[in-house]
Chains A and B, each alone.
Chain A
Amino acid sequence: MNNHASAQPSGRHPLVAFAARWLLTTNHKEIGTLYLCLSFLLFFIAGAFAMAIRTELFQPGIQLIEPEFYNQLVTLHGLVMVFGVVMPAFVGLANWMVPMMIGAPDMALPRLNNFSFWILPFAFTLLLSSLFMEGGAPNFGWTFYAPLSTTYGPPSTDFFIFGVHLMGISSVLGAINIIVTILNLRTPGMTLMRMPMFVWTWLITAFLLIMVMPVLAGLVTMMLTDRHFGTSFFDASGGGDPVLFQHIFWFFGHPEVYIMILPGFGIASQIIPTFARKKLFGYNSMVFATASIAFLSFIVWGHHMFTTGMPLFGELFFMYATMLIAVPTGVKVFNWIATMWGGSMTFETPMLFAIGFVVLFTIGGLSGLMLSIVAADFQYHDTFFVVAHFHYVLYPGAIFSTMAAVYYWLPKWTGNMYDERLGKIHFWTASIAVNMTFFPMHFTGLAGMPRRIVDYSPQFADFNMLSSVGAGLLGLTQVLFLYIVIKTIRGGPKATDQVWEGAEGLEWTVPSPAPRHTFETPPSFPGDEPDHAYDQVPGPRDGGDTDEP
């Protein structure tokens, strides 16, 4: 995506000018592009790890990969996908779209924005360089439980620790920037309850980030002092407790999984109304559902730890709290369906990905509900059923929503329409492949196949072979995605300013491609439009402020 930079006129050597432009940029659109490019690059790296894992699991037995290296692959695949792909992709989208959606000229703290991004390449260089070190890369899984990561971790664990510190700083600074932007730079007339849903979900996500990323930083700091400075936070011989590690980790970890999905909810809430040509159904309930999911995410961490010997009361509390999350999530799913109901729908690629997101994410949500049942969880714990569950919420959840967003806004970013036929091929092959890869894992998991082990019992062979074939196909479809994106950047039919017939919102009022600077003076935001939540209700009322709760 960097090639539109080459046209920059400058007296300096073109390479210097190019480097200076991207290194020093404080423009929210350029930083958004950088985030998305980094995320895309890491997507292929972490995807390559996944390919290696699935190739090894194609057949039972140990064929290609040493068990020790397998553990490293599993660890890095998880870490890079979570911190390097999903989170930067969402931050990139926020950088591009939040200022344009609220009518702001840029982010509130542009220099900080540049800094937040440029920390990340260093963080991932630190993390990935551990692959080439003596003793190998971190091998304890992305959850890095003590004492695997403290007492028994390889020497490269320290690179992992500092990598996580850098990612944490980057996310927290990015989140502060996003909140300050949303709270202060909205165009006159755009009250909080009239913001686009994507902006709302990001506001809440940013709060989650500020609340939990420092906890993760504290956790890895404790690990560091346990490893080198003689403390024993997690070491029973010095009066510590390894179970404490899991409590702190999941206090971070559960809000983290919502950090990886809430912006996806926001994207679906933008796209579905556009292609259903109706306003979003139940706007207010969407906002409150998002906020309640965020609140509940802080009191359910124990459901990851049912098998640690928690007392019955604790198990019941965490079980019921977890099941409670299904209520606001259900509200959201039904609102999306109600938005489509009776709409004049068309099925362009962004809409296909958004609908695929709703359907497949719901499957992942339901298997999550199964996992919340304490008695059943003792059976499911650490099996491939868990792997199936979180890949269903992350792949068709976070990744599909990001792809939907890219197809939806790419014409606005580049000024060119993508190839609709290729986009549809991408969606259908990806959907088939994603189900082929992850659905069989439910069955192998229920039958007792444990996760994170290089070998497996021969009775799971057929399902694993199916998964591996699906994974190969899934990998190929993403190469097609890369091709489509590059092709669109290089040219294609010109997009109109509105791009989509049913699109509404400030971002569609600026030209396509969006010029470097937009909304230097605040745009006018219609002040007399009825409130989103109730304007589906026909009646004598004309909506308006009286409908505010």
Chain B
Amino acid sequence: MAGILMNRKLQSKHTALLALLAVGMFGFAFALVPLYTVFCELTGLNGKTSGRAAVIETAVQESDRVVTVQFLARVGKGLPWEFRPSEPQLRVRLGKIYTTTYFARNRASESVTGQAVPSVAPGVAALHLQKVECFCFRQQVLTANQVLEMPVQFFVDTQLPEDIHTLSLSYTMYPVAELENTDLAQLRR
């Protein structure tokens, strides 16, 4: 009898522990989200560039190596904008600061706010493309039919891996949701 009672107790303990494991794994799925973001920020693996301006300490090291930087643009769903790079690509010397611009025009008859999200390919190059100044650092407000040339000031640092000869910098311009959730849902339709 005592054996059976012991068994019952152990059974309840096992059941509780396993249920706890299941609940923990449910939480783990959500924990993966910030873990992934932090991991990508540290390693630049998914092509996400730093959201902050690069601080230039003394003179930036320059080298003779030259790579191509291609510029791409995409307009997010629901944004009534025209948005494109002013030049398709640039040959850049590593370590030297360049400035290029993106062209934007608001085709709506009202003021619209957009936010550009950058992405660099190949992903590992994201850590080495340093932006001194970028329109993606803040939201852009365009009044009805307004045209704007938006500058990006950047350099590619000398630590760029040897096997990379071309990198692309892509911006997707998204509408900013001061809109309520319902409006967002409508935009997606």
What residues make up the interface of A, taking CB atoms closer than 8 Å to B?
108-109, 151, 172, 175-176, 179-180, 183-185, 210-219, 221-222, 228-230, 233, 236-239, 241, 243-244, 247-248, 251, 309-311, 314
- Alpha-carbon separation in the docked complex, A449 to B47 (Å): 30
Q: Which residues of A contact B46 (CB under 8 A)?
A: 241, 243, 309
Q: Residue on B with the closest CB to A217?
A: B26
Q: Residue on B with the closest CB to A251?
A: B32
Question: Are A218 and B15 CB-contacts (below 8 A) given A238-B177, A309-B47?
Answer: no
Question: Are A109 and B15 CB-contacts (below 8 A) given A210-B21, A215-B26, A236-B117?
Answer: yes
Q: Which residues of B contact A214 (CB under 8 A)?
A: 22-26, 28-29
Please choose the segment from B60-68, B121-129, B141-149, B152-160 that sits at the chain A interface, where 4 or more of its residues have CB less than 8 A away: B121-129
Q: Which residues of B contact A251 (CB under 8 A)?
A: 32
Q: Residue on B with the closest CB to A243?
A: B46
Task: State whether the Cβ of B5 lies closer than 8 Å to any Cβ in chain A.
Answer: no
Question: Are A248 and B29 CB-contacts (below 8 A) given A108-B11, A210-B21, A243-B46?
Answer: yes
Question: Are A309 and B122 CB-contacts (below 8 A) given A176-B19, A218-B26?
Answer: yes
B12 to chain A, nearest CB (A): 9
Question: Are A212 and B25 CB-contacts (below 8 A) given A309-B121, A309-B123, A314-B45?
Answer: yes
Q: Which residues of A contact B47 (CB under 8 A)?
A: 309
Q: Residue on A with the closest CB to B117?
A: A236
Decide: A218 and B14 in contact? CB cutoff 8 A.
Answer: no
- Interface of chain B residues 46 through 105 with chain A (CB within 8 A): 46-47, 76-77
- Alpha-carbon separation in the docked complex, A77 to B25 (Å): 28
Decide: B76 and A230 in contact? CB cutoff 8 A.
Answer: no
Q: Residue on B with the closest CB to A244?
A: B36
Partner pick for B172 among A180, A221, A236, CB 8 A cutoff: A236
- Alpha-carbon separation in the docked complex, A311 to B7 (Å): 51
What residues make up the interface of B, taking CB atoms closer than 8 Å to A?
7, 10-11, 14-15, 18-19, 21-30, 32-33, 36-37, 40, 43, 45-47, 76-77, 117, 121-124, 172, 174-175, 177, 181, 184-185, 188
Other A-B contacts than A180-B11, A212-B25, 8 sampled, CB-CB below 8 A, are A151-B188, A184-B7, A222-B29, A222-B30, A236-B117, A244-B33, A309-B47, A310-B123
Decide: A248 and B32 in contact? CB cutoff 8 A.
Answer: yes
Chain B interface helix/strand/loop/mixed: helix
Most buried by B among A184, A211, A216: A184
Decide: B117 and A237 in contact? CB cutoff 8 A.
Answer: yes
Q: Which residues of A contact B28 (CB under 8 A)?
A: 214-215, 218
Q: Residue on B with the closest CB to A183?
A: B14
Q: Which residues of A contact B188 (CB under 8 A)?
A: 151
A251 to chain B, nearest CB (A): 7
Q: Residue on A with the closest CB to B181?
A: A230
- Alpha-carbon separation in the docked complex, A496 to B174 (Å): 72
- Alpha-carbon separation in the docked complex, A238 to B184 (Å): 10
Decide: A218 and B123 in contact? CB cutoff 8 A.
Answer: no
Q: Which residues of A contact B27 (CB under 8 A)?
A: 218
- Alpha-carbon separation in the docked complex, A351 to B161 (Å): 57
Question: Are A218 and B7 CB-contacts (below 8 A) given A211-B25, A247-B36, A311-B123?
Answer: no
Q: Which residues of A contact B40 (CB under 8 A)?
A: 241
- Alpha-carbon separation in the docked complex, A175 to B21 (Å): 12
B111 to chain A, nearest CB (A): 19
A184 to chain B, nearest CB (A): 5
B35 to chain A, nearest CB (A): 10
Q: Residue on B with the closest CB to A238?
A: B177
A367 to chain B, nearest CB (A): 29
Q: Which residues of B contact A236 (CB under 8 A)?
A: 76, 117, 172, 174
Q: Which residues of B contact A248 (CB under 8 A)?
A: 29, 32
- Alpha-carbon separation in the docked complex, A244 to B39 (Å): 12
Decide: B36 and A311 in contact? CB cutoff 8 A.
Answer: no
Decide: B14 and A211 in contact? CB cutoff 8 A.
Answer: no
10 nearest interchain CB pairs? A218-B29, A230-B181, A214-B26, A237-B174, A214-B25, A215-B29, A176-B18, A180-B14, A172-B22, A184-B11
Most buried by A among B46, B117, B172, B177: B46
- Alpha-carbon separation in the docked complex, A233 to B22 (Å): 22
Q: Which residues of A contact B122 (CB under 8 A)?
A: 309, 311
Q: Which residues of A contact B77 (CB under 8 A)?
A: 151, 237
Q: Residue on B with the closest CB to A312?
A: B124
Question: Are A176 and B29 CB-contacts (below 8 A) given A241-B36, A243-B46?
Answer: no
- Alpha-carbon separation in the docked complex, A109 to B24 (Å): 21
- Alpha-carbon separation in the docked complex, A91 to B185 (Å): 40
A208 to chain B, nearest CB (A): 11
Q: Which residues of A contact B36 (CB under 8 A)?
A: 241, 244, 247
- Alpha-carbon separation in the docked complex, A310 to B123 (Å): 8
- Alpha-carbon separation in the docked complex, A539 to B123 (Å): 61
29 contacts between A and B (CB under 8 A): A109-B15, A172-B22, A176-B15, A176-B19, A179-B14, A184-B14, A211-B21, A213-B25, A214-B22, A214-B24, A215-B26, A215-B29, A217-B26, A218-B25, A218-B26, A218-B30, A219-B29, A222-B33, A228-B185, A230-B181, A233-B33, A237-B77, A237-B172, A241-B40, A241-B46, A243-B46, A248-B32, A309-B46, A314-B45
B139 to chain A, nearest CB (A): 13
B68 to chain A, nearest CB (A): 18
